[in-house]
Structure 1
Amino acid sequence: MSLRRPPFPVVVQPGWKNSGPEHWQSHWQAALSATRVENRDWHAPQLDDWLDGLDTALDQAGEPALVIAHSLGCIALAHYARRHPHRVAAAILVAPADVERAAVPSEIAGFGPIPREALPFPSLLIASDDDPYCRAERAQSLAELWGSELVWLPGAGHINPDSGYGPWPDGLVLLDDWLAGRHRRIAA
């Protein structure tokens, strides 16, 4: 598989509890020579700390950058975009975590309310129709609110190693195809 190098620096924004070595984000980080967001506490996240972590990663990577976010990282990026609309060139948002759902873990409830403004950069939201952390209707709503293109992965769970998404080479192809089709708009 021969992928085009994204035309921007790449930043990987993991979700709650970070992305381990088998997670697709770790594989993509290596494949794309990406900068990874580092946070003080992945298990008891604080929104401001996560925004600072993303800010630091963008400083290290260079800007504007392509941010590849997963789960709670998608919500953090939506908050970040409200404060710093010009630091991100584009985003891939995979399996956003609905922090406003019933019985949301108290550790991540502080990331609500979820921003409802359109993101100030092109974005692709990849969702599963059976994600236990974000119902399909909610994922559809977030894509509409954020102005994101939406791609469905049927039966993909939370799109993580537990649901069979380790290296996820098909996801890299999806990213590559999206960037190829969006390059002019993103570069502008």
Structure 2
Amino acid sequence: MKKVYIIHGYFASPTDHWFPWFVEKVHADYDIEVAVLHMPTPETPDMDTWLEKLHDKIGMPSNETFIIAHSLGCITLLRYLDSLQESFALGGMILVSPFDKPLEVFPNLNSFVDVTLDFAKLSRSIAQKYVIFSDNDMYVPPFVSKNIGVKLDSALLEIPRGGHFFRHRRV
């Protein structure tokens, strides 16, 4: 049975941004349940606590597991997957505005990016990989997100004027 998880970012919650819209859409169109994880203390995130949350809620992913992460949730997801000792096979992953470098505007998040990830292992272990980024993200420079996609051998999707993908805009 397919499992879909969403990992929010800094200062966010499961009811923010495009998360509720996405949950409703996937459930209505595909009858798949989506769990938006409530990450602990999103205003003062702690890397170890966030990683523990992913280990507790996701456990060992499989080819039936799909994970979408936004912003700080992306580096947390990559660190979690990299920490898995056994080989794993993740069905798919979408990273929205990912970063793996310190951000000038949020130096308090540096502990999340103070790591060397095995991108080759991650790329081999994840069947479908997508990186979505914007040309005008006010927090994450587009080249940082794009570079992660290249290192993961992901499909890249650049959204013009998408900002940091805070809100869902109905079209």
Please, what TM-score do these two structures have when normalized by structure 2?
A: 0.79
| 8 A Cα contact 1:92 1:126, kept in partner | yes
1:12-41 CA distance string (max 9 Å, x none): 111112235351122212333211223331
Residue correspondences, number:
157
> Tell me, what secondary structure is at the counterpart of 2:156?
strand
Whichever residue aligns with residue 28 of structure 1, its letter is F
**Mapped partners of 2:67, 2:14: distance in 1:** 18
**Mapped partners of 1:98, 1:132: distance in 2:** 16
Q: Aligned to 1:91, which of 90, 93, 111?
A: 93
- Percent identity of equivalent pairs: 25
Which residue does 1:139 correspond to in 2?
145
**Mapped partners of 1:141, 1:97: distance in 2:** 9
Q: Aligned to 2:161, which of 148, 155, 163?
A: 155
Gaps of 5+ in 2: 27-32
> Tell me, what secondary structure is at the counterpart of 2:164?
coil
Residue 131 (structure 2) pairs with residue 125 (structure 1): yes
| 8 A Cα contact 1:11 1:57, kept in partner | no
Q: Which runs of 4+ in 1 moved over 4 A?
A: none
> Tell me, what secondary structure is at the counterpart of 2:119?
coil
**Mapped partners of 1:101, 1:18: distance in 2:** 17
Structure with the higher strand share, 1 or 2: 2
Whichever residue aligns with residue 17 of structure 2, its letter is H
